Structure 1
Amino acid sequence: MSATAKPAVEEVKMDVEDAGSAPSEAKQTESGTAVVPPTIAKAGSDAGSETKQEADGSDSEEKLRAVRQIEFYFADSNLPFDKFMWTLHTANPEHWVPVSTVASFKRMRDWQKHGIPWITNALRMSTELEVSEDGTKVRRRTEVQPPKDQFERSIYAKGFGEEEDTETQRKLEDFFDKYGRTNAVRMRRTEDKKFKGSVFVEFADFKSVETFLNATPKPSWNNEELKIMTKEAYCEMKIKEKGLTGKAARLRKQTIQSGKGFNAFREMEEAKKNKDKKGKGKEDEKKEPELFIEFMGSKIRVEPGEEGGSVKDEDVPVAKGASLKFDGAGESTTFDEIKSVLKERFSRAPTLTEDEITFVKEHLKTLGGKDVSWSIPD
Protein backbone atom coordinates (compact mmCIF):
# COMPACT_ATOMS: atom_id res chain seq x y z
CA MET A 1 0.00 0.00 0.00
CA SER A 2 1.43 3.36 -0.93
CA ALA A 3 1.92 6.21 1.48
CA THR A 4 -0.62 8.26 -0.42
CA ALA A 5 -3.47 5.85 0.37
CA LYS A 6 -6.20 7.35 2.56
CA PRO A 7 -5.03 6.34 5.99
CA ALA A 8 -8.15 7.21 7.92
CA VAL A 9 -7.80 5.10 10.99
CA GLU A 10 -11.49 4.41 11.23
CA GLU A 11 -11.28 2.53 7.94
CA VAL A 12 -9.00 -0.12 9.42
CA LYS A 13 -10.94 -3.30 10.11
CA MET A 14 -9.73 -4.52 13.46
CA ASP A 15 -10.81 -5.36 17.00
CA VAL A 16 -8.43 -3.39 19.19
CA GLU A 17 -8.26 -4.21 22.88
CA ASP A 18 -4.84 -2.74 23.62
CA ALA A 19 -3.47 0.71 24.14
CA GLY A 20 -1.19 2.45 26.58
CA SER A 21 -1.73 3.87 30.06
CA ALA A 22 -3.60 6.67 31.73
CA PRO A 23 -5.74 9.09 29.79
CA SER A 24 -4.47 10.50 26.54
CA GLU A 25 -5.53 10.41 22.92
CA ALA A 26 -7.77 7.67 21.55
CA LYS A 27 -8.06 5.88 18.24
CA GLN A 28 -11.42 5.19 16.59
CA THR A 29 -11.72 1.75 15.02
CA GLU A 30 -14.50 -0.06 13.26
CA SER A 31 -15.55 -1.85 16.43
CA GLY A 32 -14.52 0.58 19.12
CA THR A 33 -12.05 3.12 20.40
CA ALA A 34 -8.71 2.37 22.02
CA VAL A 35 -6.74 4.59 24.35
CA VAL A 36 -3.22 5.62 23.46
CA PRO A 37 -0.32 4.32 25.58
CA PRO A 38 1.77 7.06 27.20
CA THR A 39 5.12 5.23 27.16
CA ILE A 40 7.06 8.53 27.20
CA ALA A 41 8.28 9.50 30.66
CA LYS A 42 7.32 12.97 31.85
CA ALA A 43 9.91 15.60 32.66
CA GLY A 44 11.93 14.74 35.76
CA SER A 45 10.63 11.15 35.96
CA ASP A 46 14.00 9.62 35.04
CA ALA A 47 17.61 10.62 34.55
CA GLY A 48 17.36 10.74 30.75
CA SER A 49 14.07 12.65 30.52
CA GLU A 50 15.74 16.04 30.12
CA THR A 51 17.49 14.90 26.93
CA LYS A 52 14.22 13.56 25.58
CA GLN A 53 12.30 16.83 25.78
CA GLU A 54 13.02 19.71 23.47
CA ALA A 55 10.57 22.22 24.76
CA ASP A 56 8.95 23.31 28.03
CA GLY A 57 5.43 23.97 29.15
CA SER A 58 2.40 23.37 27.01
CA ASP A 59 4.37 22.71 23.82
CA SER A 60 6.29 19.93 25.54
CA GLU A 61 3.10 18.37 26.88
CA GLU A 62 1.46 18.61 23.49
CA LYS A 63 4.42 16.88 21.86
CA LEU A 64 4.22 14.12 24.45
CA ARG A 65 0.55 13.57 23.63
CA ALA A 66 1.31 13.43 19.90
CA VAL A 67 4.11 10.93 20.46
CA ARG A 68 1.89 8.77 22.66
CA GLN A 69 -0.67 8.62 19.88
CA ILE A 70 1.91 7.54 17.30
CA GLU A 71 3.47 5.06 19.72
CA PHE A 72 0.05 3.50 20.07
CA TYR A 73 -0.12 2.90 16.32
CA PHE A 74 3.18 0.99 16.50
CA ALA A 75 2.57 -0.78 19.82
CA ASP A 76 2.40 -4.59 20.19
CA SER A 77 -1.17 -4.09 21.32
CA ASN A 78 -2.20 -2.43 18.06
CA LEU A 79 0.22 -2.91 15.16
CA PRO A 80 -0.30 -6.66 14.58
CA PHE A 81 -4.09 -6.22 14.86
CA ASP A 82 -4.41 -3.18 12.56
CA LYS A 83 -4.38 -4.35 8.95
CA PHE A 84 -3.58 -0.93 7.50
CA MET A 85 -0.71 -0.27 9.92
CA TRP A 86 0.63 -3.79 9.40
CA THR A 87 0.63 -3.21 5.65
CA LEU A 88 2.69 -0.06 6.16
CA HIS A 89 4.99 -1.83 8.62
CA THR A 90 5.71 -4.71 6.23
CA ALA A 91 5.95 -2.59 3.06
CA ASN A 92 9.76 -2.71 3.22
CA PRO A 93 12.32 -4.98 4.97
CA GLU A 94 13.50 -2.18 7.28
CA HIS A 95 9.90 -1.48 8.42
CA TRP A 96 10.16 2.29 7.87
CA VAL A 97 6.82 4.11 7.67
CA PRO A 98 6.52 7.67 6.25
CA VAL A 99 5.95 10.24 9.00
CA SER A 100 3.66 12.11 6.62
CA THR A 101 1.38 9.07 6.36
CA VAL A 102 1.08 8.60 10.12
CA ALA A 103 0.60 12.35 10.60
CA SER A 104 -2.37 12.30 8.23
CA PHE A 105 -4.37 9.85 10.39
CA LYS A 106 -7.65 11.16 11.74
CA ARG A 107 -6.57 11.00 15.38
CA MET A 108 -3.54 13.16 14.56
CA ARG A 109 -5.67 16.11 13.45
CA ASP A 110 -4.99 18.05 16.66
CA TRP A 111 -1.31 18.27 15.72
CA GLN A 112 -1.48 18.49 11.92
CA LYS A 113 -1.60 22.28 12.17
CA HIS A 114 1.99 22.28 13.50
CA GLY A 115 3.33 20.61 10.37
CA ILE A 116 5.49 17.52 9.70
CA PRO A 117 8.77 19.00 11.12
CA TRP A 118 7.07 19.60 14.49
CA ILE A 119 5.75 16.02 14.57
CA THR A 120 9.17 14.68 13.54
CA ASN A 121 10.84 16.60 16.38
CA ALA A 122 8.25 15.24 18.79
CA LEU A 123 8.99 11.68 17.64
CA ARG A 124 12.67 12.15 18.47
CA MET A 125 11.58 12.26 22.13
CA SER A 126 10.27 8.70 21.95
CA THR A 127 11.99 5.78 23.64
CA GLU A 128 9.86 3.32 21.66
CA LEU A 129 10.28 4.69 18.12
CA GLU A 130 13.18 5.95 16.04
CA VAL A 131 13.26 8.49 13.22
CA SER A 132 15.33 8.11 10.06
CA GLU A 133 18.35 10.38 9.52
CA ASP A 134 16.49 12.48 6.96
CA GLY A 135 13.53 12.84 9.33
CA THR A 136 10.97 11.50 6.85
CA LYS A 137 10.33 8.01 8.27
CA VAL A 138 9.64 6.36 11.59
CA ARG A 139 9.72 2.76 12.89
CA ARG A 140 9.78 0.65 16.02
CA ARG A 141 13.02 0.08 17.89
CA THR A 142 12.15 -3.54 18.71
CA GLU A 143 10.56 -6.54 17.00
CA VAL A 144 6.81 -7.04 17.31
CA GLN A 145 5.87 -9.48 20.08
CA PRO A 146 2.50 -11.11 20.84
CA PRO A 147 0.94 -9.37 23.87
CA LYS A 148 0.69 -11.65 26.91
CA ASP A 149 -2.27 -12.21 29.24
CA GLN A 150 -4.54 -9.73 27.44
CA PHE A 151 -7.66 -11.74 28.14
CA GLU A 152 -6.83 -12.30 31.81
CA ARG A 153 -6.06 -8.59 32.36
CA SER A 154 -9.30 -7.41 30.76
CA ILE A 155 -12.63 -6.48 32.39
CA TYR A 156 -16.18 -5.80 31.21
CA ALA A 157 -18.19 -2.86 32.48
CA LYS A 158 -21.76 -1.84 31.59
CA GLY A 159 -23.98 1.08 32.52
CA PHE A 160 -22.48 4.09 30.73
CA GLY A 161 -25.68 5.05 28.95
CA GLU A 162 -25.63 6.71 25.55
CA GLU A 163 -22.70 8.47 23.94
CA GLU A 164 -23.31 12.06 24.92
CA ASP A 165 -20.62 13.82 22.89
CA THR A 166 -17.22 13.42 21.25
CA GLU A 167 -15.59 13.62 24.68
CA THR A 168 -17.12 10.35 25.93
CA GLN A 169 -14.02 8.36 25.08
CA ARG A 170 -11.75 10.74 26.95
CA LYS A 171 -14.10 10.78 29.94
CA LEU A 172 -14.02 6.99 30.05
CA GLU A 173 -10.24 7.01 29.93
CA ASP A 174 -10.13 9.45 32.86
CA PHE A 175 -12.60 7.27 34.76
CA PHE A 176 -10.62 4.05 34.49
CA ASP A 177 -7.34 5.85 35.06
CA LYS A 178 -8.38 6.24 38.72
CA TYR A 179 -7.99 2.48 39.23
CA GLY A 180 -4.67 1.84 37.49
CA ARG A 181 -2.75 2.01 34.22
CA THR A 182 -4.68 0.81 31.19
CA ASN A 183 -3.61 -0.57 27.83
CA ALA A 184 -7.00 -0.18 26.19
CA VAL A 185 -10.43 1.31 26.79
CA ARG A 186 -12.69 0.08 24.02
CA MET A 187 -16.22 1.35 23.63
CA ARG A 188 -18.40 -1.51 22.41
CA ARG A 189 -20.61 -0.63 19.45
CA THR A 190 -23.40 -2.12 17.37
CA GLU A 191 -23.08 -2.81 13.66
CA ASP A 192 -24.32 0.72 12.94
CA LYS A 193 -21.64 2.20 15.28
CA LYS A 194 -24.04 3.03 18.12
CA PHE A 195 -22.44 2.87 21.59
CA LYS A 196 -23.78 -0.08 23.60
CA GLY A 197 -23.13 1.59 26.92
CA SER A 198 -20.50 -1.02 27.79
CA VAL A 199 -16.74 -1.29 27.45
CA PHE A 200 -13.90 -3.77 27.50
CA VAL A 201 -10.87 -2.45 29.37
CA GLU A 202 -7.45 -4.03 29.37
CA PHE A 203 -5.40 -3.04 32.40
CA ALA A 204 -1.62 -3.10 32.25
CA ASP A 205 -1.28 -5.39 35.28
CA PHE A 206 -3.32 -7.75 37.44
CA LYS A 207 -3.10 -5.47 40.48
CA SER A 208 -5.10 -2.78 38.65
CA VAL A 209 -7.71 -5.38 37.69
CA GLU A 210 -8.13 -6.35 41.36
CA THR A 211 -8.26 -2.71 42.42
CA PHE A 212 -11.10 -1.99 40.00
CA LEU A 213 -13.15 -5.12 40.71
CA ASN A 214 -12.81 -4.80 44.49
CA ALA A 215 -13.18 -1.01 44.72
CA THR A 216 -15.19 0.47 47.59
CA PRO A 217 -17.54 2.08 46.86
CA LYS A 218 -18.23 0.10 43.71
CA PRO A 219 -17.49 1.90 40.42
CA SER A 220 -20.42 4.02 39.24
CA TRP A 221 -21.19 6.34 36.35
CA ASN A 222 -23.48 9.34 36.77
CA ASN A 223 -24.34 8.04 40.25
CA GLU A 224 -25.45 4.69 38.83
CA GLU A 225 -23.56 1.59 39.92
CA LEU A 226 -21.90 -0.23 37.02
CA LYS A 227 -22.20 -3.91 36.22
CA ILE A 228 -18.60 -5.13 36.28
CA MET A 229 -16.79 -8.47 35.90
CA THR A 230 -13.70 -9.98 34.35
CA LYS A 231 -13.78 -10.48 30.61
CA GLU A 232 -13.57 -14.22 31.23
CA ALA A 233 -16.66 -14.05 33.46
CA TYR A 234 -18.44 -12.07 30.73
CA CYS A 235 -17.49 -14.76 28.25
CA GLU A 236 -18.89 -17.53 30.49
CA MET A 237 -22.08 -15.50 31.05
CA LYS A 238 -22.70 -15.18 27.30
CA ILE A 239 -22.04 -18.87 26.72
CA LYS A 240 -24.55 -19.76 29.43
CA GLU A 241 -27.15 -17.27 28.13
CA LYS A 242 -26.95 -18.81 24.65
CA GLY A 243 -27.01 -22.37 26.00
CA LEU A 244 -23.77 -23.29 24.28
CA THR A 245 -21.87 -26.44 25.19
CA GLY A 246 -18.94 -28.47 23.94
CA LYS A 247 -17.31 -27.31 20.73
CA ALA A 248 -19.75 -24.43 20.24
CA ALA A 249 -18.89 -23.06 23.69
CA ARG A 250 -15.16 -23.37 23.03
CA LEU A 251 -15.46 -21.58 19.69
CA ARG A 252 -17.50 -18.78 21.29
CA LYS A 253 -14.87 -18.28 23.97
CA GLN A 254 -12.09 -18.32 21.42
CA THR A 255 -13.91 -15.68 19.37
CA ILE A 256 -14.27 -13.38 22.37
CA GLN A 257 -10.65 -13.95 23.37
CA SER A 258 -9.00 -13.33 20.00
CA GLY A 259 -11.64 -11.23 18.24
CA LYS A 260 -12.79 -11.49 14.64
CA GLY A 261 -10.57 -8.78 13.24
CA PHE A 262 -7.19 -8.89 11.55
CA ASN A 263 -4.43 -10.72 13.43
CA ALA A 264 -0.94 -10.66 11.92
CA PHE A 265 0.24 -13.55 14.07
CA ARG A 266 -2.66 -15.70 12.87
CA GLU A 267 -2.04 -14.64 9.26
CA MET A 268 1.66 -15.55 9.50
CA GLU A 269 0.88 -18.91 11.06
CA GLU A 270 -1.62 -19.76 8.32
CA ALA A 271 0.86 -18.65 5.64
CA LYS A 272 3.52 -20.91 7.16
CA LYS A 273 1.13 -23.87 7.21
CA ASN A 274 0.19 -23.31 3.57
CA LYS A 275 3.86 -23.03 2.61
CA ASP A 276 4.66 -26.27 4.43
CA LYS A 277 1.77 -28.03 2.68
CA LYS A 278 2.93 -26.82 -0.73
CA GLY A 279 6.49 -27.86 0.03
CA LYS A 280 5.37 -31.32 1.12
CA GLY A 281 3.23 -31.63 -2.01
CA LYS A 282 6.21 -30.86 -4.24
CA GLU A 283 8.33 -33.42 -2.41
CA ASP A 284 5.64 -36.04 -2.88
CA GLU A 285 5.49 -35.21 -6.58
CA LYS A 286 9.23 -35.75 -6.95
CA LYS A 287 9.11 -39.18 -5.32
CA GLU A 288 8.68 -42.02 -7.81
CA PRO A 289 6.06 -44.61 -6.86
CA GLU A 290 7.51 -47.76 -5.34
CA LEU A 291 7.32 -50.94 -7.47
CA PHE A 292 7.10 -54.47 -6.08
CA ILE A 293 7.01 -57.93 -7.68
CA GLU A 294 5.64 -61.17 -6.28
CA PHE A 295 8.08 -64.12 -6.35
CA MET A 296 7.64 -67.43 -4.60
CA GLY A 297 5.13 -65.95 -2.22
CA SER A 298 7.36 -63.00 -1.32
CA LYS A 299 6.95 -59.33 -2.16
CA ILE A 300 10.23 -57.94 -3.51
CA ARG A 301 10.92 -54.23 -3.97
CA VAL A 302 12.26 -53.18 -7.36
CA GLU A 303 15.08 -50.65 -6.92
CA PRO A 304 14.93 -47.70 -9.38
CA GLY A 305 17.53 -47.81 -12.12
CA GLU A 306 18.15 -48.38 -15.79
CA GLU A 307 16.15 -50.87 -17.84
CA GLY A 308 13.28 -50.99 -15.40
CA GLY A 309 15.32 -51.37 -12.21
CA SER A 310 16.68 -54.33 -10.30
CA VAL A 311 16.20 -56.31 -7.11
CA LYS A 312 18.66 -56.90 -4.31
CA ASP A 313 20.11 -60.39 -4.17
CA GLU A 314 19.38 -60.70 -0.46
CA ASP A 315 15.69 -59.96 -1.11
CA VAL A 316 15.24 -62.90 -3.50
CA PRO A 317 13.96 -66.02 -1.69
CA VAL A 318 15.38 -69.46 -2.51
CA ALA A 319 13.72 -72.85 -2.45
CA LYS A 320 15.59 -74.94 0.07
CA GLY A 321 16.99 -78.11 -1.51
CA ALA A 322 16.08 -76.98 -5.02
CA SER A 323 18.52 -74.09 -5.58
CA LEU A 324 22.17 -73.73 -6.50
CA LYS A 325 24.29 -70.60 -6.47
CA PHE A 326 27.04 -69.78 -8.94
CA ASP A 327 29.85 -67.21 -8.70
CA GLY A 328 32.35 -65.82 -11.18
CA ALA A 329 30.20 -65.77 -14.33
CA GLY A 330 31.06 -63.33 -17.13
CA GLU A 331 28.94 -60.25 -17.78
CA SER A 332 27.64 -61.71 -21.05
CA THR A 333 25.94 -64.64 -19.28
CA THR A 334 22.37 -65.21 -20.43
CA PHE A 335 19.56 -67.31 -19.05
CA ASP A 336 19.45 -69.36 -22.25
CA GLU A 337 23.06 -70.39 -21.69
CA ILE A 338 21.99 -72.12 -18.49
CA LYS A 339 18.57 -73.29 -19.64
CA SER A 340 19.82 -75.02 -22.80
CA VAL A 341 22.07 -77.30 -20.74
CA LEU A 342 19.67 -78.13 -17.94
CA LYS A 343 16.21 -78.22 -19.54
CA GLU A 344 16.33 -81.87 -20.55
CA ARG A 345 17.56 -83.04 -17.14
CA PHE A 346 15.36 -80.77 -15.10
CA SER A 347 11.89 -80.42 -16.60
CA ARG A 348 10.55 -79.04 -13.33
CA ALA A 349 11.95 -77.64 -10.13
CA PRO A 350 13.62 -80.65 -8.51
CA THR A 351 14.69 -81.59 -5.03
CA LEU A 352 18.40 -81.76 -5.82
CA THR A 353 20.29 -84.92 -5.11
CA GLU A 354 24.05 -85.29 -4.97
CA ASP A 355 24.03 -86.75 -8.51
CA GLU A 356 22.07 -83.79 -9.90
CA ILE A 357 24.34 -81.28 -8.22
CA THR A 358 27.36 -83.08 -9.70
CA PHE A 359 25.66 -82.98 -13.12
CA VAL A 360 25.27 -79.21 -12.94
CA LYS A 361 28.87 -78.67 -11.87
CA GLU A 362 30.23 -80.87 -14.65
CA HIS A 363 28.06 -79.50 -17.47
CA LEU A 364 28.20 -75.80 -16.55
CA LYS A 365 31.84 -75.19 -15.71
CA THR A 366 31.86 -71.82 -17.52
CA LEU A 367 29.31 -69.08 -18.00
CA GLY A 368 29.87 -66.00 -20.11
CA GLY A 369 33.33 -67.30 -21.00
CA LYS A 370 34.52 -67.52 -17.39
CA ASP A 371 34.91 -70.39 -14.93
CA VAL A 372 32.19 -70.55 -12.31
CA SER A 373 31.88 -72.25 -8.94
CA TRP A 374 28.62 -73.80 -7.73
CA SER A 375 27.36 -73.97 -4.15
CA ILE A 376 24.20 -74.52 -2.16
CA PRO A 377 22.78 -71.13 -1.01
CA ASP A 378 22.14 -70.52 2.69
Structure 2
Amino acid sequence: MGTDEVTSNKSSQECSRYDVAHSSHQLLKKVEYYFSDANLATTEILMRFISKDPEGFVPISVVASFKKIRALVHDNSLLAAALSTSTQLHVSDDGKKVRRKKPFTEADLEEVQSRIIFAENLPENHCYQNLMRVFSAVGSVKSIRTCYPQNSDGTTAAVNRSSKNDMVHAFVEYETVEDAKIAVNKLNGETNWRNGLRVRPLLDCVKHGTGRGRKDGHEGDDARDGDFINTINQPKGEQADDKAHF
Protein backbone atom coordinates (compact mmCIF):
# COMPACT_ATOMS: atom_id res chain seq x y z
CA MET A 1 0.00 0.00 0.00
CA GLY A 2 1.45 3.36 -1.04
CA THR A 3 2.03 6.32 1.26
CA ASP A 4 -0.66 8.39 -0.45
CA GLU A 5 -3.22 5.60 -0.01
CA VAL A 6 -2.36 5.19 3.69
CA THR A 7 -2.68 8.94 4.21
CA SER A 8 -6.03 8.95 2.40
CA ASN A 9 -7.36 6.10 4.57
CA LYS A 10 -6.27 7.89 7.75
CA SER A 11 -7.97 11.09 6.61
CA SER A 12 -11.19 9.21 5.85
CA GLN A 13 -11.14 7.55 9.27
CA GLU A 14 -10.52 10.88 10.99
CA CYS A 15 -13.41 12.48 9.08
CA SER A 16 -15.67 9.56 9.99
CA ARG A 17 -14.78 9.85 13.68
CA TYR A 18 -15.41 13.60 13.52
CA ASP A 19 -18.83 13.09 11.90
CA VAL A 20 -19.85 10.57 14.58
CA ALA A 21 -18.64 12.80 17.41
CA HIS A 22 -20.33 15.86 15.88
CA SER A 23 -23.64 14.02 15.43
CA SER A 24 -23.50 12.70 19.00
CA HIS A 25 -22.87 16.22 20.29
CA GLN A 26 -25.80 17.57 18.27
CA LEU A 27 -28.07 14.79 19.53
CA LEU A 28 -27.08 15.46 23.10
CA LYS A 29 -27.70 19.20 22.90
CA LYS A 30 -31.05 18.81 21.16
CA VAL A 31 -32.41 16.25 23.62
CA GLU A 32 -31.07 18.15 26.63
CA TYR A 33 -32.95 21.17 25.32
CA TYR A 34 -36.16 19.13 24.85
CA PHE A 35 -35.93 18.18 28.54
CA SER A 36 -35.08 21.72 29.68
CA ASP A 37 -37.36 23.72 31.97
CA ALA A 38 -38.23 26.23 29.25
CA ASN A 39 -39.19 23.61 26.68
CA LEU A 40 -41.19 21.44 29.09
CA ALA A 41 -43.09 24.55 30.14
CA THR A 42 -44.13 25.42 26.59
CA THR A 43 -44.81 21.99 25.04
CA GLU A 44 -46.89 19.09 26.31
CA ILE A 45 -45.77 15.81 24.80
CA LEU A 46 -42.78 15.05 27.06
CA MET A 47 -44.55 16.24 30.22
CA ARG A 48 -47.35 13.76 29.54
CA PHE A 49 -44.87 10.88 29.67
CA ILE A 50 -42.90 12.35 32.58
CA SER A 51 -46.07 12.76 34.64
CA LYS A 52 -47.26 9.21 33.95
CA ASP A 53 -44.01 7.45 34.82
CA PRO A 54 -43.22 7.11 38.57
CA GLU A 55 -39.56 7.91 37.88
CA GLY A 56 -40.18 10.50 35.18
CA PHE A 57 -38.90 8.38 32.30
CA VAL A 58 -39.76 8.96 28.63
CA PRO A 59 -39.38 6.10 26.09
CA ILE A 60 -36.33 6.53 23.86
CA SER A 61 -38.64 5.66 20.94
CA VAL A 62 -40.65 8.83 21.61
CA VAL A 63 -37.55 11.02 21.53
CA ALA A 64 -36.32 9.18 18.42
CA SER A 65 -39.58 10.04 16.62
CA PHE A 66 -38.91 13.80 16.70
CA LYS A 67 -38.03 15.00 13.21
CA LYS A 68 -34.77 16.72 14.18
CA ILE A 69 -33.62 13.56 15.94
CA ARG A 70 -34.63 11.37 12.98
CA ALA A 71 -32.44 13.55 10.79
CA LEU A 72 -29.40 12.63 12.90
CA VAL A 73 -29.92 9.01 13.93
CA HIS A 74 -32.07 6.03 12.92
CA ASP A 75 -30.96 3.57 15.59
CA ASN A 76 -32.43 3.90 19.09
CA SER A 77 -29.42 2.17 20.64
CA LEU A 78 -27.11 4.81 19.15
CA LEU A 79 -29.36 7.54 20.50
CA ALA A 80 -29.31 5.92 23.95
CA ALA A 81 -25.51 5.67 23.80
CA ALA A 82 -25.20 9.37 22.98
CA LEU A 83 -27.57 10.36 25.79
CA SER A 84 -25.73 8.18 28.30
CA THR A 85 -22.87 10.72 28.24
CA SER A 86 -25.15 13.57 29.35
CA THR A 87 -24.63 15.30 32.69
CA GLN A 88 -28.32 16.30 32.70
CA LEU A 89 -30.05 13.10 31.57
CA HIS A 90 -30.13 9.51 32.80
CA VAL A 91 -30.68 6.52 30.49
CA SER A 92 -32.30 3.40 31.97
CA ASP A 93 -30.21 0.24 32.32
CA ASP A 94 -31.97 -1.40 29.37
CA GLY A 95 -31.35 1.67 27.18
CA LYS A 96 -35.04 2.07 26.37
CA LYS A 97 -35.96 5.10 28.48
CA VAL A 98 -34.48 8.47 29.42
CA ARG A 99 -35.26 10.98 32.16
CA ARG A 100 -33.86 14.13 33.70
CA LYS A 101 -31.37 13.67 36.51
CA LYS A 102 -33.01 16.59 38.27
CA PRO A 103 -36.76 15.83 38.55
CA PHE A 104 -39.24 18.29 37.06
CA THR A 105 -42.50 18.21 39.01
CA GLU A 106 -45.89 19.76 38.31
CA ALA A 107 -45.00 22.41 40.90
CA ASP A 108 -41.79 23.16 38.98
CA LEU A 109 -43.81 23.37 35.77
CA GLU A 110 -46.21 25.93 37.20
CA GLU A 111 -43.36 27.98 38.67
CA VAL A 112 -41.57 28.20 35.31
CA GLN A 113 -44.79 28.95 33.43
CA SER A 114 -45.55 31.77 35.86
CA ARG A 115 -42.34 33.50 34.67
CA ILE A 116 -43.08 33.10 30.94
CA ILE A 117 -45.13 35.41 28.77
CA PHE A 118 -46.66 34.57 25.39
CA ALA A 119 -46.12 37.40 22.89
CA GLU A 120 -47.94 37.88 19.58
CA ASN A 121 -47.98 40.64 16.95
CA LEU A 122 -44.21 40.91 17.27
CA PRO A 123 -42.42 43.97 15.87
CA GLU A 124 -41.58 43.93 12.16
CA ASN A 125 -37.95 43.51 13.13
CA HIS A 126 -38.23 40.43 15.36
CA CYS A 127 -34.57 39.41 15.33
CA TYR A 128 -33.07 38.39 18.66
CA GLN A 129 -31.37 41.71 19.35
CA ASN A 130 -34.54 43.72 18.84
CA LEU A 131 -36.74 41.36 20.87
CA MET A 132 -34.20 41.45 23.70
CA ARG A 133 -34.24 45.24 23.58
CA VAL A 134 -38.05 45.30 23.78
CA PHE A 135 -38.58 42.71 26.50
CA SER A 136 -35.56 43.47 28.69
CA ALA A 137 -36.68 47.09 28.97
CA VAL A 138 -39.13 46.03 31.69
CA GLY A 139 -37.28 43.20 33.44
CA SER A 140 -34.47 40.66 33.46
CA VAL A 141 -34.95 38.19 30.58
CA LYS A 142 -33.68 34.63 31.00
CA SER A 143 -34.54 33.27 27.55
CA ILE A 144 -36.44 34.11 24.37
CA ARG A 145 -37.90 31.51 22.05
CA THR A 146 -39.20 32.73 18.70
CA CYS A 147 -41.59 30.38 16.88
CA TYR A 148 -42.27 30.42 13.16
CA PRO A 149 -45.15 28.98 11.10
CA GLN A 150 -44.69 25.50 9.66
CA ASN A 151 -45.57 23.96 6.32
CA SER A 152 -47.83 20.91 6.14
CA ASP A 153 -44.77 18.65 5.87
CA GLY A 154 -43.38 19.96 9.16
CA THR A 155 -40.70 22.19 7.66
CA THR A 156 -40.43 25.81 8.69
CA ALA A 157 -42.20 28.15 6.30
CA ALA A 158 -40.19 30.90 4.66
CA VAL A 159 -40.60 34.04 6.74
CA ASN A 160 -38.98 37.43 6.35
CA ARG A 161 -37.64 38.06 9.83
CA SER A 162 -37.65 41.80 9.20
CA SER A 163 -41.35 42.01 8.34
CA LYS A 164 -44.65 41.66 10.18
CA ASN A 165 -46.14 38.17 10.33
CA ASP A 166 -49.17 37.33 12.47
CA MET A 167 -48.13 33.66 12.75
CA VAL A 168 -44.79 34.45 14.40
CA HIS A 169 -44.85 34.53 18.19
CA ALA A 170 -42.45 34.25 21.09
CA PHE A 171 -42.13 32.79 24.56
CA VAL A 172 -40.18 35.11 26.84
CA GLU A 173 -38.96 33.73 30.15
CA TYR A 174 -38.17 36.26 32.86
CA GLU A 175 -36.02 35.71 35.92
CA THR A 176 -38.91 36.48 38.29
CA VAL A 177 -42.70 36.31 38.35
CA GLU A 178 -42.77 40.02 39.17
CA ASP A 179 -40.85 40.89 35.99
CA ALA A 180 -43.26 38.79 33.91
CA LYS A 181 -46.25 40.60 35.44
CA ILE A 182 -44.67 43.98 34.74
CA ALA A 183 -44.08 42.94 31.11
CA VAL A 184 -47.75 42.04 30.68
CA ASN A 185 -48.86 45.34 32.20
CA LYS A 186 -46.44 47.58 30.33
CA LEU A 187 -45.88 45.98 26.93
CA ASN A 188 -49.42 45.30 25.76
CA GLY A 189 -50.26 47.57 22.83
CA GLU A 190 -53.72 48.45 24.13
CA THR A 191 -53.94 51.61 22.04
CA ASN A 192 -53.34 49.59 18.86
CA TRP A 193 -54.86 46.18 19.55
CA ARG A 194 -54.92 45.13 15.89
CA ASN A 195 -51.24 45.75 15.15
CA GLY A 196 -49.68 46.41 18.53
CA LEU A 197 -47.72 43.91 20.60
CA ARG A 198 -49.98 41.48 22.49
CA VAL A 199 -48.59 39.94 25.67
CA ARG A 200 -50.27 37.41 27.96
CA PRO A 201 -49.10 35.29 30.91
CA LEU A 202 -48.40 31.75 29.70
CA LEU A 203 -50.40 30.34 32.62
CA ASP A 204 -53.51 32.14 31.36
CA CYS A 205 -52.93 30.71 27.88
CA VAL A 206 -52.56 27.19 29.29
CA LYS A 207 -55.81 27.49 31.23
CA HIS A 208 -57.62 28.49 28.02
CA GLY A 209 -55.96 25.78 25.93
CA THR A 210 -53.60 28.04 23.96
CA GLY A 211 -49.93 28.90 24.07
CA ARG A 212 -48.48 25.37 24.31
CA GLY A 213 -47.76 22.52 21.93
CA ARG A 214 -50.72 20.55 20.62
CA LYS A 215 -51.85 17.69 22.82
CA ASP A 216 -51.71 15.22 19.94
CA GLY A 217 -48.45 16.45 18.48
CA HIS A 218 -44.77 16.33 19.27
CA GLU A 219 -41.71 18.45 18.71
CA GLY A 220 -41.74 19.93 15.24
CA ASP A 221 -45.44 19.38 14.57
CA ASP A 222 -46.25 23.01 15.05
CA ALA A 223 -44.58 26.37 15.44
CA ARG A 224 -42.89 25.40 18.71
CA ASP A 225 -39.86 24.17 16.81
CA GLY A 226 -38.46 27.66 16.40
CA ASP A 227 -35.49 29.74 17.46
CA PHE A 228 -34.37 29.51 21.05
CA ILE A 229 -31.89 31.97 22.48
CA ASN A 230 -30.84 31.49 26.09
CA THR A 231 -29.29 34.59 27.61
CA ILE A 232 -27.67 32.83 30.56
CA ASN A 233 -23.88 33.33 30.58
CA GLN A 234 -24.07 35.40 27.41
CA PRO A 235 -21.52 38.25 27.55
CA LYS A 236 -23.04 41.71 27.54
CA GLY A 237 -22.88 43.35 24.16
CA GLU A 238 -22.33 40.08 22.32
CA GLN A 239 -24.10 39.98 18.98
CA ALA A 240 -26.27 36.90 19.28
CA ASP A 241 -26.98 34.96 16.13
CA ASP A 242 -30.65 34.93 15.18
CA LYS A 243 -30.69 31.16 14.77
CA ALA A 244 -31.73 28.22 16.89
CA HIS A 245 -28.99 26.97 19.18
CA PHE A 246 -30.21 23.41 18.84
TM-score by length of 2: 0.49
* Larger relative contact order (CA 8 Å, sep ≥ 6): 2
TM-score by length of 1: 0.34
